[in-house]
Each structure stands twice: as C-alpha cells, then as structure tokens.
Amino acid sequence: MAQRNQYWSCTKFADWIRGTSKPSAATSDGWHDWENVSKSTHRFRHWVAEEVLDAIQNFIWWPADQIYSLKYYVNNRFITRTHCLTAHPRDIKPGQWQDVGNRFLPCLFNELVDYVEVELAWWHLAWEGKEARKKYKAPWWNFGWFRLRLWRSKQAGLDNLEWQRALRWKETEVGEDSPNLGKLTPQAINAQEILDLYTWWTEVYPKRPDPYDASGWTEYCEKIRILNDGRIFGSKKTPELEEMASIALAKSTEIEQAYEKEDEDMMIRLIKVRNSLWT
C-alpha cells in the first residue's frame, strides 16, 4: 500500500462523521471499549467513518498503491534483499566457502546490525522529524517516495533503542490501579535485549582473543620453528616443549568450547527476541 500521511478514518473529519473521537493510541482493551461505545452511540455513522471512508480512499489511491508496490518489490528484491540472510564481507568474504553451520552466526547477527543501524535509524528519524534529519545528516533520498533503505546511522539506531528501553506503562494505558503502572513495558525489555546482543556482536565478539594465542600454542609453534631451523613440523623437541604443547592444546580446546557455548547462547537469545525486530 502506498505511503499515506493519514488514513481518512483517523482524521477529525471522520470523528465528525462518527460522532465520537478516535483515540490516537490505546491498549487492545481500550480499542475494544472505544469501538463498542462508538457503535452503540451511532452505529451507521461509525460504519461510514470506518468502512466507507477507507473504501473511498483505497479506490482513489489504487493507481498510486500499485506503483508504490512495484517500487517496493524492486527495492526488496534487488537492493535490500529482504528475502534472504546475508553476511558482511568482513565476516564471510564473497567467494569464500563456508559450511552451513558456520553461516548462521554471522548472517543472523549481521541482520541484527542492519536492523539497528538501518531500520531503527530510519524509524527514529521518522518519529523525531526534520530536526533529527539535520542532527544525523540524513540524505533526502532516505524519505518519501524515493526511500530505498540504504542510509545507515549507528547513532540514530542506538538513540532509538535508548528511547525504547526507557518506556514505562502510563496511567492512560493500564489505569491508575494497575500493578504494572510505572514498570518497564515489554517493548522496553526487548529493546534492552536487542541492545545487549548488538553490543556483544559489535564490541565483545571482535575482541575475543585468538584461542591459539591465548592458550600459548602460537608461542609453542614459534619455539619449535626456531629449534628446527625454521621448520614448524620439525622433529626436534625438548621435554619442556612437549609439556608446553600438552598444556597449550588443552587450554586451546577449553577456550574454543567456551566460545562455541557463548555463540550458541547468543544465537538462542536472538531467536527468542526475533518477534520484536520490527519497525
């Protein structure tokens, strides 16, 4: 459906036809109560405002909707490629073979990075308006009909998460007697989880020490190379080096297993929060 500034059923004109004002936001119970009151007050006028106005708007906008749908098909198919998971070249170089099991982690978390730095960044600007566009230096083609979701802003995405994770239930949403009043909303809790996962992938994961270096195996190989005149698989070894190799191999295995467990735990956490990755 083409991008519209506002649905006609949500305008003041619709409120006038309906005879009741439509809330701009409400809980599911709130919407249900409003609909019951509006129908019981003026059933026919409610039908005109909610059904007839939308039908007329859809008829008038039909040509533009078709063009917009085609534009988004081309964008989704060939530019943002939302039909597939992709890995960043720094994680999997194009043309480099990777087994399926090794693709999961980078593909999933690269998509998370794009979600934060592209989708949430755009969403943040859409909510904040023109001042935010200036603040983050967003290009003109990131908005309106020409929007192609190519613009990236780490800061705008993180600022959006900061806003989300501070959301708390208000009295107008849950009532003054609700035990949830003032508590963090599910959206805020999920935003914190998304931020934690994003931070792990972009800051913690890249800085993890190499298992061979951290275990001492790299140092062992260098000593063997020196002892055997540059041959890393030379036969000359000392008891001290044999003990060093045994310790290094055990430590290396321990580190690699810890990394595997951490990777698995993070992927599980990402899967659990997947339904919150929307804009």
What pLDDT score does 78 carry?
Answer: 80
CA distance 38 to 17: 11
Distant-in-sequence, close-in-space partners of 220: CB < 8 Å, separation ≥ 6: 241, 244, 245, 248
pTM: 0.78
CB distance 160 to 120 below 8 Å: yes
CA distance 112 to 199: 11
Beta bridge partners of 184: 168
What pLDDT score does 1 carry?
Answer: 42
Count Cα neighbours of 83 within 13 Å in the Cβ-side half-sphere. 8
Angle at 173 between CA 170 and CA 177, to 5 degrees: 75
What is the mean pLDDT of each successive set of 10 residues along the chain, which is 279 residues long?
66 93 83 92 94 94 87 76 85 91 96 96 88 88 69 95 96 91 96 98 98 96 88 80 95 98 98 95
Distance (Å) of CA 57 to CA 35, 219, 251: 21, 72, 67
Distant-in-sequence, close-in-space partners of 68: CB < 8 Å, separation ≥ 6: 1, 2, 3, 145
What pLDDT score does 151 carry?
Answer: 87
* Residue-wise burial string across 72-91, b where 16 or more C-beta atoms lie within 10 A, e elsewhere: beebeeeebeeeeeebeeeb
Chain CA centroid to CA 131, Å: 24
What pLDDT score does 79 carry?
Answer: 74
What pLDDT score does 141 carry?
Answer: 75
